[in-house]
Chain A
Amino acid sequence: MPRPFTPKIVTANHLLEGDVVYLTEDDRWSRHMQDAELIEDEAHAAIRLIDAEQQGNIVVGAYLADAKPGSNGPEPVHFRETFRARGPSNYHHGKQADSLAVAAE
């Protein structure tokens, strides 16, 4: 029996700012994980990753990360993605410090 597919999101770093971005369903790059498209189908995930990789003038290092549905949109599964979505633990820097939701270019 094939293993059940874990839902995915497409994430990368922004070329100019370097910060973490997520691919949305309507082909934008958002700085907030809850805006990401939660991909439940393996074949669709592969296509969305190719879509992302073709945007090398906007983002760097796109990959598929495990995610789960939450009340406000996708949530991280692995602690690495939790830290990427939040920022470092030693200073209040990064996403946790950015109160405004600004969409990436």
Chain B
Amino acid sequence: MYRYDEFDTAFLAKRNAQFRSQVERRIAGGLTEDEFKPLRLMNGLYLQLHAYMLRVAIPYGSLDAQKMRKLAELAERWDKGYGHFTTRQNIQYNWPKLRDVPDMLDALAEVGMHAIQTSGNTIRNVTSDHFAGASADEIADPRPYAELIRQWSTDHPEFQFLPRKFKIAITGSPNDRAVTRAHDIGLRMIEKDGKPGFEVIVGGGLGRTPMVGKVIRDFVPENELLPYLEAVVHVYNQHGRRDNKYKARIKITVHENGIDTIRDEVEAAFERTRTEFEGVDERVIARIRDRFRAPALVGGGTEAYEAARQNPVFRAWADTNLSEHRDPDHAIVTISIKAHGQTPGDATAAQMRVMADLAEQYGYDELRISHQQNVILPHVRKADLAAVHEELKAAGLATANVGLASDIIACPGMDYCALATARAIPVAQQLATRIEDLRIEHEVGPLQIKISGCINACGHHHVGHIGILGLDRGGVETYQITLGGDATETAAIGQRTGPGFSYEEIVPAIERLMLAYLETRDDEFETFLQAYRRLGAGPFKEALYGPEKQRDAA
């Protein structure tokens, strides 16, 4: 876990005092809403449908027990006893009152947390692989680089008023769990001539114009990462369209100017920035690495795990919720906060404390938040897995569904969000409940269903194997389905199936898709996505809309 220094502490204290004064001036009438809004957004405070919403950054999704307990404290003291983990590895509180927000920020600062740059046209919280530092397939832990980017981008004077928000994701593994191809900049760690560096992908993004990012440079050495990023964002800042917010993201800049033109301009800017930054990356990354403490793993104990697998409930959970750790005596535990019928990504204060306790007792004091809205214990000794499972079960956190149909991503949708055009959460709840009633998700196997309540695609529906997009069609909630999306290193944007479905029709429609897959797959080893790629949309459209002939006649 990265340990913040005195500079970070002083910076946060100053920033929070500044915002407290701004809130006071707003309440006293010294600032109008037009003046105050950009200031509150810079501190993560939105005004949503029913209340304010505070979005707190969890840098690259990493937490320790102390921070998780602080999040629980905020939920209890100033909210309604829960928090919502988001697809950008942040946490949102849905019910804060304006007067309380400065106190909430001060409480967060006690553990080095904040809400800076979780909104506004700035470089947002850098996201990363939630298995970083733990997974077996990793070249190196990407988090020191993520922290380097966080320090560089926080309050960066040139990049406080970008044409639009800017999102960077970073992975240290060839298997992309950080959706790098759907970010403004995606960084994929690779090695060249034995030296670590990054493949740089630009112009990816979801939203109303979904695009898979393009490689702008196949290799940037690790010691030139910041000057290269500075060059990219500099070129974007110059060219990005400020005349039309729907065309202001870098994906449109790249699309309109062409990747080759942008690449040339970035290289020209890079000539300058690399001299300005000379040596900075090496010095800073060395300092950051010193402050990231890798846990001293305790070996042995796998026999206890093998014995525990005799218990079928434990085995079912272990088969879905564990991932391979780089150390054979450890496992990565994904805690599903997607119990069937619950709100995806929500955890109560009590559950947060249980997860904090488990991290402290069994997990070398490390926790992660995944963009799939689950919580990870990245390093658990296999000998302790049965005990961890028992405690999770007692807290309602042992749902064995990670990577399965009910492990649904859903944005807050029109239950909370002022931008939403339809609800997402109750669709996810009803769908998961239906899947549980049918008892088919283990048979269906790996399936990612992702739901967004508007075109902005916070629910990542474009890259869901099944994507659901909620729209307002003539004053009625309507849900469009896309198929074949892929969030991994083989990223793809899902294709629309056809006309949308009503709120009442959407759950049965998804059920028909799952049944059609079970009927048409080659065998149990062919996943939903593989079957879709082999067969095309035909059989799935038929399941949704009936036989083609009948549709023509209709």
B95: chain A residues at CB < 8 Å are 93
Tell me whether B98 and A15 are in contact (CB under 8 A). Answer: yes
Tell me whether B50 and A16 are in contact (CB under 8 A). Answer: no
A17: chain B residues at CB < 8 Å are 51, 97-98
A70: chain B residues at CB < 8 Å are none
B76: chain A residues at CB < 8 Å are none
A16-B27, A61-B33 known; A90-B426 Cβ under 8 A: yes
B334: chain A residues at CB < 8 Å are none
A79: chain B residues at CB < 8 Å are 414, 472, 475-477
Query: B415 interface residue, CB < 8 Å from A?
Result: yes
B94: chain A residues at CB < 8 Å are 88, 93
16 pairs from A and B in contact (CB 8 Å cutoff)? A13-B47, A13-B51, A15-B26, A15-B27, A17-B98, A18-B48, A18-B98, A56-B33, A77-B475, A79-B472, A83-B415, A83-B423, A89-B426, A90-B429, A93-B50, A93-B80
Query: B52 interface residue, CB < 8 Å from A?
Result: yes
Question: Nearest Cβ distance between residue A85 and chain B, in whole angstroms?
Answer: 10
Contacts of B316-352 to chain A: CB distance below 8 A: 343, 346
Query: B442 interface residue, CB < 8 Å from A?
Result: no
Determine the residue in chain B with the shortest Cβ distance to A88.
B415
A84: chain B residues at CB < 8 Å are 49-50
B26: chain A residues at CB < 8 Å are 15
> Contact flags (1/0) for B77-97 with A, using CB distance below 8 Å?
000100000000000001111
Complexed CA–CA distance, A15 and B27 (Å): 8
A16-B99, A60-B33, A80-B414 known; A91-B49 Cβ under 8 A: no
Determine the residue in chain B with the shortest Cβ distance to A60.
B33
Query: B483 interface residue, CB < 8 Å from A?
Result: no
Determine the residue in chain A with the shortest Cβ distance to B412.
A88
Query: B416 interface residue, CB < 8 Å from A?
Result: yes
Complexed CA–CA distance, A77 and B371 (Å): 36
> Contact flags (1/0) for A1-32 with B, using CB distance below 8 Å?
00000000000010111111000000000000
Determine the residue in chain A with the shortest Cβ distance to B416.
A88
| Residue total for A at the interface (Cβ-Cβ under 8 A) | 25
A80: chain B residues at CB < 8 Å are 49, 414, 472
Query: B499 interface residue, CB < 8 Å from A?
Result: no
Query: B466 interface residue, CB < 8 Å from A?
Result: no
Question: Nearest Cβ distance between residue A29 and chain B, in whole angstroms?
Answer: 15
A60-B33, A79-B477 known; A94-B426 Cβ under 8 A: no
Of B51, B425, B476, which one neighbours A18 at CB under 8 angstroms?
B51
Contacts of A9-67 to chain B: CB distance below 8 A: 13, 15-20, 56-57, 60-61
Majority SS of interface residues in chain A? loop
Question: Nearest Cβ distance between residue B80 and chain A, in whole angstroms?
Answer: 6
Tell me whether A18 and B415 are in contact (CB under 8 A). Answer: no
Question: Nearest Cβ distance between residue A68 and chain B, in whole angstroms?
Answer: 12
Which of B415, B423, B429 gathers most chain A CB within 10 Å?
B415
Determine the residue in chain A with the shortest Cβ distance to B341.
A90
Complexed CA–CA distance, A56 and B31 (Å): 10
Q: Which 9 pairs of residues, A with B, have the shortest CB-CB distance?
A: A88-B415, A18-B51, A18-B52, A94-B50, A89-B426, A90-B343, A57-B29, A90-B425, A16-B98
Question: Nearest Cβ distance between residue B164 and chain A, in whole angstroms?
Answer: 21
Question: Nearest Cβ distance between residue B472 and chain A, in whole angstroms?
Answer: 8
Tell me whether B32 and A56 are in contact (CB under 8 A). Answer: yes
Question: Nearest Cβ distance between residue A12 and chain B, in whole angstroms?
Answer: 10
Of A16, A77, A89, A95, which one neighbours B423 at CB under 8 angstroms?
A89
Question: Nearest Cβ distance between residue B17 and chain A, in whole angstroms?
Answer: 21
Contacts of B24-51 to chain A: CB distance below 8 A: 26-27, 29, 32-33, 47-51
Complexed CA–CA distance, A56 and B52 (Å): 16
A16-B99, A17-B97, A18-B52 known; A83-B47 Cβ under 8 A: no
Tell me whether B47 and A18 are in contact (CB under 8 A). Answer: yes
Tell me whether A61 and B47 are in contact (CB under 8 A). Answer: yes
Tell me whether A19 and B51 are in contact (CB under 8 A). Answer: yes
Tell me whether B33 and A19 are in contact (CB under 8 A). Answer: no
Which of A13, A83, A88, A95 gathers most chain B CB within 10 Å?
A88
Complexed CA–CA distance, A80 and B29 (Å): 30
Of A18, A78, A90, which one neighbours B50 at CB under 8 angstroms?
A18
Tell me whether A88 and B50 are in contact (CB under 8 A). Answer: yes
Complexed CA–CA distance, A77 and B121 (Å): 34
Given A18-B48, A57-B29, A83-B415; 13 other pairs, CB 8 A cutoff: A13-B51, A16-B98, A17-B51, A17-B97, A18-B96, A19-B50, A60-B47, A79-B477, A88-B415, A88-B425, A90-B426, A90-B429, A93-B80
Contacts of B6-36 to chain A: CB distance below 8 A: 26-27, 29, 32-33
A91: chain B residues at CB < 8 Å are 80, 343
Question: Nearest Cβ distance between residue B92 and chain A, in whole angstroms?
Answer: 13
A83: chain B residues at CB < 8 Å are 49, 414-415, 423
Of B29, B80, B346, B425, which one neighbours A89 at CB under 8 angstroms?
B425
Complexed CA–CA distance, A17 and B78 (Å): 12
Question: Nearest Cβ distance between residue B353 and chain A, in whole angstroms?
Answer: 20
Question: Nearest Cβ distance between residue A98 and chain B, in whole angstroms?
Answer: 11
A18: chain B residues at CB < 8 Å are 47-48, 50-52, 96-98
Question: Nearest Cβ distance between residue B104 and chain A, in whole angstroms?
Answer: 14
A56: chain B residues at CB < 8 Å are 32-33
Complexed CA–CA distance, A20 and B52 (Å): 11
B415: chain A residues at CB < 8 Å are 83, 88-90
B52: chain A residues at CB < 8 Å are 18
Tell me whether A87 and B50 are in contact (CB under 8 A). Answer: yes
B416: chain A residues at CB < 8 Å are 88
A13: chain B residues at CB < 8 Å are 47, 51
A79-B477, A89-B423 known; A20-B50 Cβ under 8 A: yes
A90: chain B residues at CB < 8 Å are 343, 346, 415, 425-426, 429
